[in-house]
Structure 1
């Protein structure tokens, strides 16, 4: 990209480092920002710096927060006897949008993946075990429906079973509105495993 000044090339490079941002999208974002009024660009930059400086992980669940504990862990109206285990903080955001779950969370910050060199000690499983007390009635494992997510779910189940805690897995299968022809083998297999009687 020799036709751009160095500052623009650098900004394009930085945007391209973000997940799901290719070089064309990075270029569009850069050119959009260059066309904004200077005060809006400063606001954007300040928001980035402030978020990076003030947002941390909750000391209990590992979710994003500005104060410890996070708003979910600190809420007395939540059911603290049920913990939903997720891979990343973004998964909490997805579950909270549905508004059906009233328990608390535990973020693993990853999944077990021998191919990527990530074992159980590389994610927050020990911290999950430390949270187990006589008050915890159920742990819902809501890891992704991938090979890594399934391996992580099985490992968590094996670790928690001796602690006399009910361990469940979220259902998986065909999403609403999807066509069978586009489903992969694992999704179809899970759909058959989790089938229910029609009443």
Structure 2
């Protein structure tokens, strides 16, 4: 390995989310030191994923076949679709293990500033799925950002009268202390209060 090869690897690693130049340098040094244990298997796994990974034609999840394992699972509820912004959000929902329906990955949120409209996202496909799959409920699990809420309102307008629309609750997290929360979170929690 030449020093140019190492610098190239460090530069590539530094482009990954959560890694800057220093973290990338430490990661590369660790990988090189543990070449047989980590670097070679990581390289092989990355090459395999580069060849086999693809987007599910149905929901937009990432898998190794045209239809992902979640869409192919006959035990999942078929009347509910949970709409998320990206695959990372879908995987977070799956880690929680509480939703047993179907998913739909939008591929982002509407953003006039960035020129992202409904056609750049998979919103038309979502509308088609609601009809073709006899969906009874669409759960909008979008981030509580301006773009996320704009996207949720747009989808609600598109599906109005066709299906029950719900969204995730927002407010005080479990274990959260009011003193550490921002005003928007406190406001959302107060509006979404429930009887004890």
Which TM-score band applies after superposition, normalised by the shorter structure?
over 0.9
Partner of 1:131: 129
Q: SS of the counterpart of 1:133? A: helix
Is structure 2 residue 1 aligned with structure 1 residue 6? no
Structure 1 residue 116, shift from structure 2 partner: 2.4
Structure 1 residue 115, shift from structure 2 partner: 2.4
Is structure 2 residue 190 aligned with structure 1 residue 192? yes
Structure 1 residue 9, shift from structure 2 partner: 1.6
Partner of 2:145: 146
Inter-partner Cα distance in structure 2 for 1:12 and 1:37: 15
Aligned length: 194
Higher mean alpha-carbon deviation, 148-157 vs 113-122, is at 113-122
Partner of 1:119: 117
Q: SS of the counterpart of 1:21? A: coil
Inter-partner Cα distance in structure 2 for 1:94 and 1:39: 28
Inter-partner Cα distance in structure 2 for 1:188 and 1:124: 32
Structure 1 residue 38, shift from structure 2 partner: 4.1
Q: Which aligned segments of 4 or more residues in structure 1 are displaced greater than 6 angstroms?
A: none
Inter-partner Cα distance in structure 1 for 2:58 and 2:3: 47
* Unaligned ranges ≥5, structure 1: none
Aligned residue runs from structure 1 range 151-166, under 5 A: 151-162=150-161, 164-166=162-164
Inter-partner Cα distance in structure 2 for 1:25 and 1:37: 18
* Unaligned ranges ≥5, structure 2: none
Aligned residue runs from structure 1 range 15-26, under 5 A: 15-26=13-24
Structure 1 residue 112, shift from structure 2 partner: 1.0
Structure 1 residue 39, shift from structure 2 partner: 6.4
Q: Aligned-pair RMSD on alpha carbons? A: 1.6
Q: SS of the counterpart of 1:121? A: helix
The 3 A distance-change label for structure 1 pair 99 and 125 is same
Is structure 2 residue 168 aligned with structure 1 residue 170? yes
Provide, for residues 62-99 of structure 1, a one-character-per-residue CA deviation record: whole Å limited to 9, x for no partner. 10111232111111111111000001111111111222
| Residue 54 (structure 2) aligned to one of 34, 52, 56 | 56
Inter-partner Cα distance in structure 2 for 1:37 and 1:129: 48
Normalising by the residue count of structure 1, what TM-score does the alignment of the two structures yield?
Answer: 0.92
Q: SS of the counterpart of 2:130? A: coil
Inter-partner Cα distance in structure 2 for 1:73 and 1:66: 13
